[in-house]
């Protein structure tokens, strides 16, 4: 039983066989609750009538058996937990002697002082046996001197304070008392040795304890004052540990401890020192390991003592310190000397420490390395002090400029060191007597005077102050202050420290950024402050020059004031305009009125912010007081059309021929220039006017075109002219551009096609449909006059039938901005009609419909007859019209029989045939799906005219329409869609074959190909396993890892059969498998495209773990269960159909004998694959255990239902 207890309130307990309660509070109203893992019967015994869980009292005692030595003390621990009642529990101790193991003997109790038996009375009363309480539920039993009769079994018992008796109330442990076998001896002796002599002492230690014990041996020294100090000891774990005063000597190898033989331990000191003298002895301790894995010392022995006396050599030394001067002025040099008087000082090592007011400030170690403390290191780096070791006896401390902080008592402390392999050891130290140094402060005669260039100035002028200093001996710094009206607040203007570094006040940062403030030192004692562009509001009033004289850590200040009055200029600028809205090309004026006091010269800068931009204004032009004009660089077009004028206080800006570029916000900036302005060319004062917005509206367009509808009737191969007349323009000097457009006749529903466009430079740009050289040679535009444009169409054919119109744009040249479009107009449509001939030219008008499969050839006929075949010639043009475009010529046959392929991208697929004189057939090879549309021919009759020797067109006729539809080939792709299932036991050694069978009218050849993908569907979703595309490239699914790839195989047993193999199937292979088949075809342009796609039925694969049954897996798989449940119905329908067939056959044969099974069987034989074992079951969802066992046995025997 395992118990974990914690204190919780009673009301929070809950009834359960396994509980965990936690609480940290303890009081009388709380008790211990626990987590108990045990049988139900044990739980019932611990249950209360109220249904609460009570904790179980547990008493634990120190784990035994314990072995202790006779005559030494022992402590035994005991504690209790899981109790109820008071926090302080009582404990009773008993012993069971080996002579009477069943008889308890009372020893001592915390509750009853007279609890003991008579044999323990004296020992309890004398405190040889007593109980120490560690806390309320934990105690220690002490026996100060063990006797042989104390051996036995000890019991710790706690009286019951619980509501009911539950748990254990006592615990026992065994104590064995063993004899003392430890011995330690060393011969007593008296040794007199000189300082530096070696010393060796030996100690004999032995034991014969039957139990396994360890020994520890140590050497100790009793000094003259009675203090015991550890020299060196060997622990029970065989680790050497020196005493604190012998650590360095142990590390240097001067003190060592070794073991010689089994019982001898030797202490070795290479060079004894006076500090080693005293009583030396050896101590041995025996240790044993208790059952709780802790080590306990059970016996201890000390040897007799050896008296060691060490006579020291004469190595004493004397230390003294002295100052070069005991009283000196601030800034004077000071030298401190530290003198060491000793014998053989060159062969000895000394360390010198300098102290100021008892605190270390510097030291020089025996190797001469200097170490400075705190601020003295920085002063030494700055060259203010230096420490020098002139000899082994003389050390010097120099301070080159003393300050008031250097006043005080100086001393030095010298320590003699002994050099060891690991470093230096201190032998002795001596301080010197202190020497006092008095530093007298210095005084200053600093005087300051302040002057200004004027007492009263105008706003924008320059204010110059001069500050002169006298009586200064040390470095100076200066601060200029501006005093407010209350004179209680002073604002820093600028300052210069003693190193010449400048600093600015917060309010004067902008002055410095604009170069309006200058502070300089023109001599050793003269400082100049210059403030340019004085402000009347903030810069007037008193100013103060404050000078500080610096000397080391002291300073003296002196200040002087002066005042100045600043008169305001009252500079203002107001911008006005006659009108804010103007028309394009009109002029507009802006007026800037400037007012300023003192009649100071003024400059005006005109600023502009376009409407289309955001940000800062752009400078247009600046007019200086002397008449100089400075143009801006960002708006150069203003310079060519802007006029400036000036009167006494008004400035005028005139802008001619306004354009859209001139629309925006305007502003004028006024600046005052004075003779006392800064030399850098900066104005004394400046102000910005209000902004005025100017709006430029374009004029209304007066462009008008002829809107009369027109129609032209022409015969074939003649020229046509279409006019575009301009009735009115906005301005006489405006320029016109014209664009011609063509609208195809119905049934075409297409956007207008641009024929050509003539721009302002008379450059012609043809549209996409009219950009071929043949079309460019037939269409051209002509400007007959200023208001008449004409489109010429040469050799008109039936493809030119439709509506034509023009689009005219009116443009005006604006100075500074270029061409501006005023307006745009579109003319009415002019319809171009063909006039049919009255001659006896007959062309077949019958409409035909043709359906052709892709990649086949199509022949379209054009039959024409002429009444005068001998005197005339025929020419033919074949046209093609799609759903969204008009007639487009494909092939043209000239009168003399020359064939011209007009559509060049179809030259390889078009063929012209003329089997007879009146048959003009067109053959289209390798029909594509995009060839669907309407085809027709245009026949023209030509006769020879002897008068001018040319052939003249006599007639033109159109054939009927041939509507051709291109169909894709019939693939008829069929994939086997029947579902199947494979159920296997885990560990099946055979492979699983999953076949993908399909059929198609288009078997695999050079123009067709198939791609196949295998998929698996599980509860986690669908994943692609393997695939092979129409180019026979095989690849695994993106989520298939390497371990699964090694168990997948892909085969192609036949042209239309693909197989997926699962090698050594595992439980993770379970799922629904199916294949996806795509049929790809090679188009006429040798590009592959997907023709059809299908997917197969589900192949359910179920791999059962070794501990699962077939029925349980079938019931847990919905798809497999539905398949198995539907199988009996399918078999029943097949059987019924077979019986009906036999019955009818029997009636026809007049009760003929029933054929045997060998002749005609009613059963469908099902072959079992070698690599799979399918299980089909008609069980319902209520699968019993017996059924599962039967199916599992059938599965193992290889049967199939």
Token digits for 391?
């000899």
Residue 52 has pLDDT above 70, yes or no: no
- Rounded alpha-carbon distances, angstroms, from residue 755 to 83, 205, 721, 1180: 110, 126, 14, 79
Which of 166-170, 645-649, 870-874, 1121-1125 is the least confident region? Answer: 1121-1125
Contacts of residue 460, Cβ cutoff 8 Å, sequence gap at least 6: 533, 534, 569, 600, 672, 674, 677, 683, 684, 685
Token digits for 346?
């060159």
When pLDDT is averaged across residues 156-171 and rounded to a whole number, the result is 86
The answer to whether the beta carbons of residues 152 and 166 sit under 8 Å apart is: no
Token digits for 512?
């410095």
Paired with 354 in beta bridges are 362, 412
Q: How far apart are CA 39 and CA 693, in angstroms?
A: 98
Closest CA to 579 of 487, 655, 507, 680: 655
* Tens-digit pLDDT profile for residues 443-483: 888 899 999 888 888 887 888 999 999 988 889 999 999 88
Hey, how many other C-beta atoms are within 10 angstroms of the C-beta on 1054?
10
Token digits for 1040?
């298939």
Q: How far apart are CA 495 and CA 481, in angstroms?
A: 9
> Residue 149 belongs to what H/E stretch?
none
When pLDDT is averaged across residues 273-294 and rounded to a whole number, the result is 92
pLDDT at position 53, please? 45
Query: Which stretch, 734-743, 996-1005, 1169-1178, has highest mean pLDDT?
Result: 734-743
The pLDDT confidence band at residue 555, using thresholds 50, 70 and 90, is confident
* Tens-digit pLDDT profile for residues 1114-1170: 655 666 666 777 778 888 888 888 888 888 877 766 543 433 333 333 233 333 333
Closest CA to 892 of 884, 904, 900: 900
- Percent residues over pLDDT 90 in the chain: 31
Token digits for 1096?
């197969």
Contacts of residue 717, Cβ cutoff 8 Å, sequence gap at least 6: 795, 796, 797, 940, 953, 956
| Sign of the CA dihedral with 457 first, then 459, 461, and 466 last | positive
Residue 109 has pLDDT above 90, yes or no: yes
Residue 718 has pLDDT above 80, yes or no: no
Query: Which stretch, 13-22, 80-89, 996-1005, has highest mean pLDDT?
Result: 80-89
pLDDT at position 1008, please? 84
Contacts of residue 840, Cβ cutoff 8 Å, sequence gap at least 6: 866, 867, 868
The answer to whether the beta carbons of residues 1117 and 1103 sit under 8 Å apart is: no
Closest CA to 880 of 855, 857, 902, 854: 902
Task: Enumerate the H helices of 718-850 as residue ranges.
Answer: 773-778
* Tens-digit pLDDT profile for residues 327-368: 998 888 999 999 988 877 777 888 999 999 999 999 998 888
pLDDT at position 1193, please? 47
E strands present in 611-691:
618-623, 629-631, 642-646, 650-655, 664-672, 685-688
When pLDDT is averaged across residues 287-300 and rounded to a whole number, the result is 93
Which of 29-43, 818-832, 865-879, 1051-1065 is the least confident region? Answer: 29-43
Closest CA to 834 of 958, 937, 721, 961: 958
The answer to whether the beta carbons of residues 578 and 557 sit under 8 Å apart is: no
Q: How far apart are CA 84 and CA 1061, in angstroms?
A: 72
pLDDT at position 945, please? 65
Residue 9 has pLDDT above 70, yes or no: no
Which of 488-492, 1033-1037, 1067-1071 is the least confident region? Answer: 488-492
Residue 1030 has pLDDT above 80, yes or no: yes
The answer to whether the beta carbons of residues 342 and 412 sit under 8 Å apart is: no
Token digits for 302?
């000390």
pLDDT at position 1117, please? 60
Instruction: Please provide the average confidence, as pLDDT, over all residues in the chain.
Output: 82
Residue 548 has pLDDT above 90, yes or no: yes
* Tens-digit pLDDT profile for residues 720-772: 889 999 988 888 878 899 999 998 776 555 688 899 999 888 889 999 888 88
Closest CA to 547 of 629, 454, 480: 480
> Residue 691 belongs to what H/E stretch?
none
Regarding predicted confidence, which is higher, 361 or 871?
361
pLDDT at position 637, please? 80
pLDDT at position 1003, please? 65
Residue 314 has pLDDT above 70, yes or no: no
Pairing of strands 588-595, 650-655: antiparallel
Which of 55-59, 797-801, 889-893 is the least confident region? Answer: 797-801
When pLDDT is averaged across residues 646-672 and rounded to a whole number, the result is 89
Q: How far apart are CA 412 and CA 433, in angstroms?
A: 8
Paired with 320 in beta bridges are 339
- Residue with the two structure tokens 């500090």: 275
Hey, how many other C-beta atoms are within 10 angstroms of the C-beta on 187?
11
Residue 296 has pLDDT above 90, yes or no: yes
When pLDDT is averaged across residues 164-188 and rounded to a whole number, the result is 90
pLDDT at position 33, please? 33
Residue 185 has pLDDT above 90, yes or no: yes
| Sign of the CA dihedral with 1063 first, then 1068, 1069, and 1070 last | positive
Exposure string over 144-153, b if 16+ CB within 10 A, otherwise e: eebeeebbbb
Q: How far apart are CA 246 and CA 221, in angstroms?
A: 11
């Amino acid at each position: 039983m395992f118990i974990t207890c914690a204190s919780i309130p009673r009301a929070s307990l809950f009834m359960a066989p396994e509980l965990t309660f936690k609480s940290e509070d303890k009081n009388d109203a709380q008790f211990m609750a626990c987590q108990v893992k045990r049988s139900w019967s044990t739980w019932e015994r611990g249950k209360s009538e109220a249904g609460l869980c009570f904790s179980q009292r547990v008493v634990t005692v120190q784990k035994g058996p314990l072995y202790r030595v006779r005559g030494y003390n022992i402590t035994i621990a005991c504690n209790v937990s899981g109790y109820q009642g008071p926090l302080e529990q009582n404990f009773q101790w008993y012993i069971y002697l080996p002579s009477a193991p069943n008889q308890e003997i009372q020893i001592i109790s915390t509750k009853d002082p007279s609890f003991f038996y008579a044999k323990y009375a004296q020992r309890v009363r004398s405190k040889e046996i007593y109980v120490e309480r560690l806390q309320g539920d934990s105690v220690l039993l002490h026996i100060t001197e063990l006797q042989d009769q104390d051996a036995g079994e000890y019991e710790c018992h706690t009286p019951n304070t619980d509501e009911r008796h539950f748990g254990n109330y006592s615990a026992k442990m065994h104590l064995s008392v063993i004899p003392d076998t430890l011995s330690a001896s060393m011969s007593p002796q008296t040794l007199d040795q000189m300082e530096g002599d070696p010393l060796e002492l030996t100690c004999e230690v032995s034991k014969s304890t039957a139990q396994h014990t360890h020994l520890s041996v140590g050497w100790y020294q009793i000094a003259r004052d009675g203090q015991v100090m550890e020299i060196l000891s060997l622990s029970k774990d065989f680790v050497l540990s020196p005493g604190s005063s012998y650590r360095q000597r142990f590390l240097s190898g001067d003190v060592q401890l070794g073991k010689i033989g089994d019982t001898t331990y030797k202490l070795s000191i290479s060079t004894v020192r006076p500090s080693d003298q005293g009583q030396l002895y050896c101590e041995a301790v025996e240790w044993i390991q208790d059952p709780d894995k802790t080590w306990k010392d059970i016996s201890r022995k000390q040897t007799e003592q050896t008296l060691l006396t060490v006579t020291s050599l004469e190595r004493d030394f004397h230390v003294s310190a002295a100052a070069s001067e005991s009283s000196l002025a601030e800034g004077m040099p000071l030298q401190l000397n530290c003198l060491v008087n000793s014998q053989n000082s060159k062969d000895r090592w000394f360390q010198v420490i300098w102290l100021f007011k008892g605190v270390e400030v510097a030291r020089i170690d025996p190797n001469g390395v200097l170490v400075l403390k705190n601020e003295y290191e920085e002063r030494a780096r700055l060259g203010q002090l230096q420490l020098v070791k002139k000899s082994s006896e003389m050390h010097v401390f120099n301070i080159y400029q003393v300050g008031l902080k250097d006043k005080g008592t100086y001393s030095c402390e010298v320590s003699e060191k002994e050099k060891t392999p690991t470093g230096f050891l201190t032998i002795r130290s001596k301080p010197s007597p202190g020497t006092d140094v008095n530093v007298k402060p210095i005084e200053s005669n600093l005087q300051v005077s302040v002057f200004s260039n004027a007492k009263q100035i105008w706003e924008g002028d320059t204010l110059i102050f001069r500050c002169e200093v006298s009586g200064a001996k040390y470095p100076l710094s200066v601060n200029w202050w501006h005093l407010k009206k209350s004179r209680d607040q002073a604002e820093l203007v600028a300052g210069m420290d003693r190193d010449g570094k400048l600093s600015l006040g917060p309010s004067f940062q902008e002055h410095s950024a604009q170069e309006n403030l200058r502070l300089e030192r023109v001599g050793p004692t003269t400082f100049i402050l210059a403030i340019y562009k004085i402000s009347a509001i903030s810069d007037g009033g008193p100013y103060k020059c404050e000078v500080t004289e610096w000397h080391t850590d002291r300073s003296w200040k002196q200040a002087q004031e002066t005042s100045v009055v600043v008169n305001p200029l009252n500079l203002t600028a107001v911008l006005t305009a006659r009108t804010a809205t103007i028309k394009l090309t009109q002029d507009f004026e802006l007026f800037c009125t400037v007012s300023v006091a003192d009649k100071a010269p003024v400059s005006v800068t005109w600023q502009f912010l376009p409407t289309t931009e955001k940000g800062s204004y752009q400078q247009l032009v600046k007019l200086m007081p002397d008449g100089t004009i400075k143009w801006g660089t960002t708006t150069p077009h203003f310079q060519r059309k802007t006029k400036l004028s000036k009167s006494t206080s008004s400035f005028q800006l005139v802008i001619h021929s306004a354009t859209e570029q001139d629309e925006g916000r305007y502003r004028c900036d006024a600046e005052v220039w004075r003779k006392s302005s800064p030399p850098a060319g900066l104005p004394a004062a400046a102000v910005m006017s209000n902004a005025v917005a100017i709006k430029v509206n374009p004029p209304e367009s007066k462009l008008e075109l002829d809107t009369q509808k027109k129609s032209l009737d022409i015969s074939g191969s003649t020229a046509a002219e279409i006019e575009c007349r301009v009735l009115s323009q906005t301005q006489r000097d405006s320029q016109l551009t014209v664009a011609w457009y063509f609208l195809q006749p119905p049934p075409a529903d297409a956007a207008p096609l641009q024929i050509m466009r003539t721009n302002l430079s008379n450059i012609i740009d043809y549209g996409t449909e009219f950009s071929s050289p043949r079309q460019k040679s037939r269409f051209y535009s002509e400007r007959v006059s200023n208001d008449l444009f004409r489109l010429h169409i040469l050799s008109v054919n039936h493809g030119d039938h439709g509506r034509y119109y023009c689009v005219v744009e009116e443009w005006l040249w604006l100075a500074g901005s270029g061409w501006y479009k005023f307006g745009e107009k579109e003319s009415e449509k002019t319809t171009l009609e063909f006039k049919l001939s009255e001659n006896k030219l007959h062309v077949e008008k019958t409409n035909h419909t043709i359906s052709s499969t892709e990649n086949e050839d199509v022949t379209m006929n054009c039959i024409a007859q002429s009444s005068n075949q001998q005197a005339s010639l025929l020419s033919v043009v074949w046209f093609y019209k799609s759903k969204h475009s008009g007639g487009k010529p494909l092939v043209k046959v000239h009168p003399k029989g020359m064939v011209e392929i007009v559509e060049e991208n179809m030259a390889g697929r078009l063929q012209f045939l003329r089997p007879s004189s009146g048959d003009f057939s067109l053959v289209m090879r390798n029909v594509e799906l995009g060839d669907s549309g309407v085809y027709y021919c245009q026949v023209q009759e030509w006769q020879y005219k002897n008068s001018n020797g040319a052939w003249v067109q006599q007639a033109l006729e159109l054939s009927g329409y041939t509507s051709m539809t291109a169909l894709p080939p019939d693939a008829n792709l069929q994939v086997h869609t029947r579902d199947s299932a494979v159920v296997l036991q885990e560990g099946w050694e055979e492979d699983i074959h999953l076949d993908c069978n399909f059929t198609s009218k288009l078997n695999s050849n050079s123009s067709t190909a198939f791609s196949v993908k295998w998929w698996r569907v599980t509860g986690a979703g669908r994943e692609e396993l393997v695939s092979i595309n129409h180019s026979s490239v095989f690849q695994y699914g993106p989520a298939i890892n390497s371990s699964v790839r090694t168990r997948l195989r892909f085969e192609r047993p036949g042209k239309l059969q693909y197989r997926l193999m699962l090698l050594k199937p595992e439980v993770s292979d379970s799922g629904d498998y199916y294949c996806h088949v795509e049929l790809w075809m090679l188009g006429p342009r040798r590009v592959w495209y997907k023709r059809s796609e299908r997917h197969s039925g589900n192949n359910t694969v179920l791999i059962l773990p070794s501990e699962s049954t077939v029925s349980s897996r079938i019931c847990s798989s919905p798809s497999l269960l539905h398949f198995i449940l539907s199988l009996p119905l399918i078999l029943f329908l097949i059987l019924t159909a077979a019986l009906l067939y036999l019955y009818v056959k029997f009636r026809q044969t007049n009760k003929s004998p029933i054929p045997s099974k060998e002749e005609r069987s009613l059963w469908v034989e099902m072959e079992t694959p070698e690599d799979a074992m399918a299980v089909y079951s008609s069980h319902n969802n209520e699968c019993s255990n017996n059924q599962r066992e039967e199916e599992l046995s059938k599965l193992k025997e290889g049967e199939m239902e």
